[in-house]
Chain A
Amino acid sequence: MTLPLEGIRVLDLTQVYAGPTCTRILSDLGADVIKLEGLKRMDITRNFVMPENTGKDDYWNRSGYFLLRNGGKKSITLDFNDPEAVELVKRLVPHADIVAESFTPRVMAKFGLDYESLQGIKPDIIMVSLSGYGQTGPWRDFTAYGMGLEPASGISSVTGYRNGEPLRTGISFTDPYSGVVGAGAVLAALHCRRRTGKGQYIDLSEHESAIPVTGYAIMEHVLTGRMPERIGNRSEWYAPQGCYRCKGDDNWLVITIRDDAEWEAFCHATGHPEWEDGRFGDVLGRFRYHDELDGLITSWTREQDQIEAMHLLQKAGVIAAAVLNPKQVLLDPHLGERGAFDVIEQPDVGKRPVSRQLGAKFSAFVPNSARPAPKLGEHNREVLQGLLGLSDEDLARLEEQKVIGDTPEGAVPLDVMRMFVQWPTTTFLQMGTIAGLDADYREQLGITGDEK
């Protein structure tokens, strides 16, 4: 089976979340992605989410967060602060079709790796820069995290409880969003290069890329002069809509009623035909008495199992969905049958379910998503010798000079870092940032037997 990006090579200078999402998608579609890290500047997500410490010292090769966005890539270590390393990066450029980077705008130019310089080395190179606020404008040099870009994009202004403060999503929303945008940008540029023979430069502002999600609110302000309000889980268009408590401690069901026919179906399915007519008989009434309706709906959902209620209402043609917690997501029969999670065997970790990074299934090929993440510097020899023809002596010398290697060198000593990366899950439980802690989670997920 041939994948669409077979024969395409990506030099991946990105780190953390947005950039690695972009290049992971390209990798799954068949591109050969070479990820560059520095021994003094490894991808910090190599520190996030470890399995139990089973005595292995190389914790940086066992992070779940890193695996999620870097599975299938090759890892080489070249530190940009070393002039010889920068020269080696430049020697790799002729072998690449795409260079992806996510530094603040001044960095690539500082190392002589800006688009003009790369174009001088490889005229048809495609370069994509994913930065917080883009390459131009007064905020261009701002340092940016995804947690800040979601509120800056306007999305938080319409996220929050009714009459409450603006809130972020519980993830770094703009990172995965702009990462997917980056993958599409590269594909569009490749399409163009095939036809015209020309490469190009893509300036992707992670901030701007997510602003269109706020499109309705922006248009409301433009066309009516109103400021959109935070409406919790309600809808601009339909009533009732909300998130309703079910049987159990923290189990919930979302429901949307789009028209009178669905309202009738809902009332019959729940055994409450008396709600059908009168004040609630049309959408205007259901909007006006939404608070009262929420109370009535909760009086029904409170006695229901969230999953059974979802199926009951869906059978009646009503939009209803259980609010799944992360464990339920992993065990969900629909996502399971769809193959939303690959089970990946990560060396020194064992098998783990890992979310795919492209929510599309193709009839002509299957993306190559089920591969482990590379160890730090795992492909130094393969890439530097295979592509650049460095000798064994060259490699030994670079290793001695700590230009290349397989062990990070941070400001924090490694034994301190090893303690730091172990998360205090029992404290999380006491604080309430986690709802539960299953000692037998591997049995529950069916991934036992090969723990290293």
Chain B
Amino acid sequence: MPDSALEGIRVIDLSQGIAGAYCTKLLADLGAEVIKIEPPEGDYARRLGPFPNDVPNHDKGGLFLHLNTNKKSVTLDLESQSGRVVLRKLLANADVLVESESPGVMASRELGYEQLKGEFPGLVYCSVTPFGQTGPYAGFEGNSLAAMALSGLMYITGDPDKEPLCTGGEPAEYFGALHAWVAILAALEHRAANGGGQHIDVSMLEALGCADEYNTTMYAYLGAIRKRFYSRHAIPTYPSEIFPCRDGNIVVIGGATGFPLMMAILIEQPEMENNPLFQNLWLRFMQWEKFEEVLRPYLTEHDWEDLLTRAQELRIPFAAVLDAKTLLENEHLRERGFFAEVEHPELGKVPVAAYPFKMSETPLRVGRSPLLGEHTHDVLGEVGSEAEDQLVLRERGVT
């Protein structure tokens, strides 16, 4: 078995919640040793569920499992001096630290970057927060919804006559996670080439803002303020959205070559090839309601798999609208081995989503999340915390 890509990299993860955890999961699955430091009551993500039978249990949360595969869990109270002493011992052998406290909190515990860099000059120290370490909103409370709002992406999502709509799944947390992961890997490259660690300041808002396709560009180039319009593109690519069909939904996309002929063939009305709504994309964009009068009746008489297959045969980029159940059952994903079953001591066999890409030469680890404090004894033993130290810590409720 060859080594993993990040073999030998050690990460101390102090973060709680989603963004920091998904970032370090991406590092852990790549082979880094990730030691998750949790307060005695555990990462708050352990309390977010979902739980079997809806009974809360800090070792049975589904979201926590999703976000913390292949990590070790050590409980340590960083509010206490002895907890911080143990953390410094752990940092002596670490390459990366990830934290997600509000700006200023780590410094108040004498664990800010400025306070640690003298002792640990090679440490890559990454802070992941909703709005970053500086600027007028640095002290704001935030979450994915607030980042969606301030990024401009919410204003352009949803129906024109309704309130702006947030994308589901806490997207700013995941974008923040990806940008932190990329930044940490870049800082490790920088250290390898030039020596020295550094501080990385990741803002979930800015990570999400990077995903803005052309909304600020439309203002900066045309003075036009784009608004939500059924989440439809302002670019005349209509249609490229979700429509109901007989047994669910289907994404209808004309793409570069779908109109006029291929779409007319698909809906079994070849004469529509000569219809101006099929011929002229600007007209179709402007008179979309007329176009939908042609399209919708056909879709409601056909099933999504049939529409998808026939559209793809005509090289029209239709897509499926999948949900939790149909993703798990999807034949394409099954053949690619996307969901791997892991054995969890409290949850039994559970399918978990695979890594977001495959690598030809280095394995990607498949594993479960740790129970709360599962590795406290082993990890503290490794850094020479004597048995009696641990006992003292345990008496104080630290470990």
Encode contact with B along A226-237: 1 for CB under 8 Å, 0 otherwise: 011011110111
Determine, out of A83-91, A394-402, A427-435, the stretch whose residues face the partner at the interface: A427-435
User: Mind listing 19 A-B residue pairs with CB under 8 Å?
Assistant: A2-B194, A3-B190, A4-B193, A5-B186, A48-B214, A68-B214, A137-B335, A137-B336, A155-B169, A168-B231, A188-B5, A194-B189, A220-B324, A222-B350, A324-B151, A361-B200, A428-B224, A431-B286, A435-B225
Contact A64 B221 (CB under 8 A): yes
User: Cβ of B333: which chain A residues have Cβ within 8 Å of it?
Assistant: 137, 208
State in angstroms the CA–CA spacing of A227 and B216 once bound together.
36
- Whether A50 is near chain B, meaning CB under 8 Å from some CB there, is yes
Determine, out of A281-289, A333-341, A385-393, the stretch whose residues face the partner at the interface: A333-341
Contact B66 A215 (CB under 8 A): yes
Contact A171 B206 (CB under 8 A): no
- Whether B222 is near chain A, meaning CB under 8 Å from some CB there, is yes
Please, how many residues of chain A have a CB less than 8 angstroms from a CB on the other chain? 175
User: Cβ of B181: which chain A residues have Cβ within 8 Å of it?
Assistant: 184
Contact B150 A322 (CB under 8 A): yes
Contact A5 B154 (CB under 8 A): no
> Of B22, B145, B231, B244, which is within 8 A of A241 by CB?
B145
- Whether A217 is near chain B, meaning CB under 8 Å from some CB there, is yes
Contact A209 B356 (CB under 8 A): yes
State in angstroms the CA–CA spacing of A181 and B354 once bound together.
14
Please, how many residues of chain B have a CB less than 8 angstroms from a CB on the other chain? 163
Tell me the minimal C-beta distance from B252 to chain A in angstroms: 9
Tell me the minimal C-beta distance from B243 to chain A in angstroms: 9
User: Cβ of A328: which chain B residues have Cβ within 8 Å of it?
Assistant: 152
User: Cβ of A67: which chain B residues have Cβ within 8 Å of it?
Assistant: 217
Using a CB-CB cutoff of 8 Å, which residues 274-292 of chain A contact chain B? none
Are A224 and B356 also in contact (CB < 8 A) when A252-B164, A337-B135, A425-B222 are?
A: no
- Whether B183 is near chain A, meaning CB under 8 Å from some CB there, is yes
Tell me the minimal C-beta distance from B329 to chain A in angstroms: 11
Tell me the minimal C-beta distance from A107 to chain B in angstroms: 13
CB nearest to A420 among chain B residues: B282
Are A185 and B206 also in contact (CB < 8 A) when A169-B231, A220-B62 are?
A: no
Contact B231 A362 (CB under 8 A): no
Contact B240 A147 (CB under 8 A): yes
User: Cβ of A112: which chain B residues have Cβ within 8 Å of it?
Assistant: none
- Whether B54 is near chain A, meaning CB under 8 Å from some CB there, is yes
Across chains A and B, which 10 residue pairs bring their CB atoms closest together, nearest first?
Answer: A148-B319, A219-B62, A158-B168, A441-B223, A359-B207, A157-B323, A170-B156, A359-B206, A321-B146, A360-B183
- Whether B395 is near chain A, meaning CB under 8 Å from some CB there, is no
Determine, out of B85-93, B293-301, B359-367, the stretch whose residues face the partner at the interface: B359-367
CB nearest to B188 among chain A residues: A191
Contact A211 B317 (CB under 8 A): no
State in angstroms the CA–CA spacing of A123 and B40 once bound together.
50
Encode contact with B along A159-183: 1 for CB under 8 Å, 0 otherwise: 1110001111111110111101111
State in angstroms the CA–CA spacing of A196 and B3 once bound together.
9
Contact B160 A432 (CB under 8 A): yes
> Of A5, A144, A189, A355, which is within 8 A of B212 by CB?
A355
